[in-house]
Amino acid sequence: MDERFQKILDRTPSEPGVYLLKNQKKKLVYVGKAKNLKVRLRSYFDGTDSRPFVRRLSRLLGDVETIITRNEKEALLLENRLIKAHQPRFNIRLRDDKEYLWLRVDVRVDWPRVVVIRRPQQDGPLHFGPYHSASAIRQTLRILNRYFGLRTCSDAVLKNRSRPCLQYQIKRCPGPCVFPVDRAAYHQHVLEAVLFLQGKERELVDVLRTRMEGAAEQLDFELAAHYRDQIRDVERSLERQQIEGADPVDRDVIGLYRQGDSILVELLMIRQGAMADTRRLHYSDQDLPDEEFLPSLLLQYYDGEVEIPPEILVPIPVESVGPLGEILSERRQGKVSLACPQRGFCRALVATANRNAEQAFKEMVDATEHSEESLEKLQKRLHLPLVPRRIEGFDISNLGETAKVGSMVVFQNGEPERSSYRTFRIKSVAGQDDFASLVEVLTRRIKRSQRGLEPWPDLMVIDGGKGQLNGVVRAIDQLGAGHLEVVSLAKSRPEEAKEGGAGRDPGRTDERVFLPGIKDPIVLRPYTAELYLMQRIRDEAHRVALAYHQKLRKQRTLASVLDRIPGIGPQRRNALLKQFGSVGRIRRATPEQLADVEGISPTLALRIQQALGEED
């Protein structure tokens, strides 16, 4: 054993705790927990631990810190907190849940509604989710809006509306904004919607069937038909999700598939014996063995926002199953059973989850190989020196003199990398000059790479023809970035009718790509992978630019509305913006919150809310 490692081992206690491995630059690279710190670290240093990253320790390791805990459970909790805080290189890192959607229902207010949110907070309202696809949440909202009769308007609109909206006209809302509505009956509909969102469809069907029969006895056949249709849709939802032979219990089933250091986890969420949702997590560069990887994953996944069911089925026996079960039980505030079934129906569920994980992994690999093939074809067609791993697309959006903006989208290995997208407000261009605006955007972008703030792209794509491309290339050369590969993609256009072709549809030209220094454009054949990739880049750049342009125009419109409110001058407007940060937040604020701002009286607060509510 290396003398340096022996010194570290000599000072390590034989107690439970957490160890922190740091590299030569004192940066944390791995956090682990152990029942006995000395025994665990000895396995790292004497060669008995064969994990790839352990073999690199002799080159990487600079120091080891240990933190003693009273027991293994405390070590597990501390390990999880340190991983979340420091995101070490060799630990697993759970993808941020902000991209997923939740439904929120605040049953404490007079007229509750279902709201889509990104981040649930433990502030009293009920939360349902997460929903991991837009189609899943759309289907749920469709049923809720069609049959449960809850309002969909914002609080500001509810308070200020003077006549009922379309939802009332098509009998999907009772109109509490305008008409006297039985509050108890409305809240009964809310409770039924909650039953549906909780996955208790059987209980809901029983309630609706009783109501249908009651309406029929009262000869209210229209209402009875409404309940019949509602029952049919709820039962269809239940049938689509029902798992044959499943007990009516809540459980999560974990499936796992690994190839080398790449792992895919498939999580099946079963509620009341029905498949409620699925979630898929992919990890690469994972040297941890499965029996260590899985407990770390579970501890991170079931941490605060995700519903913890009373039963979790896992594909392999996990380390620290006792302490892990205690921690999950405390978070759930109820018993959590963590089991690796060996036979029977539960074992079959785990096998299904594993097969789904394997299939998802193969689909992911196929998609990666397809993207690689598209990039290689694009390299060949555009005569590029390298495969364009990082492609950046640019576009400009404006309406005359107002809100001139640009966008930059990034495609990494053929797929959008949205975290690298950027938007620009045009600062130096007077009038409507798309070319000058594009040059400004590219200049600001290139300077970031020259300062080392962003990687250089393998290919830059602009929208336009040969003249625009030549102008952009000259501007880039002046910046000292002549090594960049830049092309322009010209949209197809209607062909002119040929002589003697009267009455014939002239059709459209092909998409054309212009390259610097080459007279004739390259025509990308329809329905090819390389054309599809280029179109995606161009269309995504256009979408991002247009969305940013519309956002700025909306902000300006709302700001002008604020200025038009009697009693709001520059000083009070600035005070409101300083307090809330944006007009959108002012719009969502209550009159009491508005009145807390210096210079805003309760009467003026009501006037502000009414004025902004009318702009909804």
Tell me what pLDDT residue 242 has.
45
Give yes or no for residue 156 having a pLDDT over 90. no
| pTM of the full structure | 0.49
Give yes or no for residue 532 having a pLDDT over 70. yes
Tell me what pLDDT residue 140 has.
78
Q: Which residues contact 535 (CB under 8 A, 6 or more apart)?
A: 489, 511
Tell me what pLDDT residue 461 has.
95
Mean pLDDT of 372-377: 86
Confidence of residue 275 (pLDDT cuts 50, 70, 90): low
Query: Does 87 or 478 have the greater pLDDT score?
Result: 478
Tokens of 584: 């959108």
For the chain, the average pLDDT equals 81
Mean pLDDT of 82-87: 81
Domains and their CATH numbers in the chain: 3-86 (3.40.1440.10), 99-241 (no CATH), 251-362 (3.30.420.10), 390-492+507-549 (3.30.420.340), 565-614 (1.10.150.20)
Mean pLDDT of 453-465: 92
Residue type, 363: E
Tell me what pLDDT residue 70 has.
81
**Environment class of 175 (CB within 10 Å of its CB; exposed 0-12, middle 13-18, buried 19+):** middle
Give yes or no for residue 502 having a pLDDT over 60. no
Tell me what pLDDT residue 592 has.
83
Give yes or no for residue 332 having a pLDDT over 90. no
37 within 8 A of 14, measured Cβ to Cβ: yes
Per-residue model confidence as pLDDT tens digits over 591-616 = 888 888 888 888 888 888 877 765 55
- The upper half-sphere exposure of residue 255, i.e. CA atoms within 13 Å in the direction of its Cβ, equals 24
Per-residue model confidence as pLDDT tens digits over 245-266 = 556 788 899 999 988 778 899 8
Q: How far apart are CA 464 and CA 468, in angstroms?
A: 6
Tell me what pLDDT residue 583 has.
74
* Percent of the chain residues topping a pLDDT of 90: 16
Give yes or no for residue 161 having a pLDDT over 60. yes
Give yes or no for residue 407 having a pLDDT over 70. yes
Q: How many CB atoms lie within 10 A of CB 376?
A: 14
